[in-house]
Chain A
């Protein structure tokens, strides 16, 4: 499925808000564990309404991908995504071995472009909005 995120130079943000043009990247099954869905599913209002009806908090239990907004994003740090830099700094470098999950955006992922496999190891730790935040 062709998405807006496929067409931008800065790549795809794996922690984007759900909005027209973004896609469902995966489901946060547990803390630090994401069930990635491929191919990614386009976000629709109908889908978001259904999640809301089911009591699924989208910014906490779902992960969406969309266009990297570059300098228009609060996480942008000069020429790169500052968020994944901090995530990797916190969780550390991966050992570079072991299979990676089948992720639908890796070829264009902004985080993967900056940190490679290490970004994939830390990616499941990110939730956008925990309860009470």
Chain B
């Protein structure tokens, strides 16, 4: 399993939670840009055809009902 670890330490100043979250968010953006590039295309997988996915969010029952599988 490929794994890449980048470790940085900010030393000598006290960071607030907001500052730490800001830095973490910027790291997330940089990693995303590196992986998906500019203007990334949307992806389709068989799972969407199998069932609407709204994990963790309440939606009307009929909208969340399983769909018939069709090849994506």
Interface residues of A (CB under 8 A from B): 1, 13-17, 22, 24, 27-32, 35, 37, 41-42, 44, 46-47, 50-51, 54-57, 60-62, 66-69, 72-75, 83, 86-87, 90, 98-102, 125-133
| Smallest beta-carbon distance A59→chain B, Å | 9
Size of interface on B: residues with Cβ below 8 Å to A? 42
| Contacts of B17-72 to chain A: CB distance below 8 A | 21-22, 24-25, 27-29, 31-33, 35-36, 38-48, 50-61, 63-64, 66, 69, 72
| Smallest beta-carbon distance A7→chain B, Å | 15
Query: With contacts A32-B45, A127-B47 known, what are 6 further pairs, Cβ within 8 A?
Result: A29-B35, A50-B29, A55-B38, A68-B56, A74-B60, A133-B48
* Docked pose: A15 CA to B53 CA in angstroms: 8
The answer to the question of B10 belonging to the interface, with a C-beta cut-off of 8 Å to chain A, is no
Chain B residue contacts of A99, Cβ below 8 A? 1
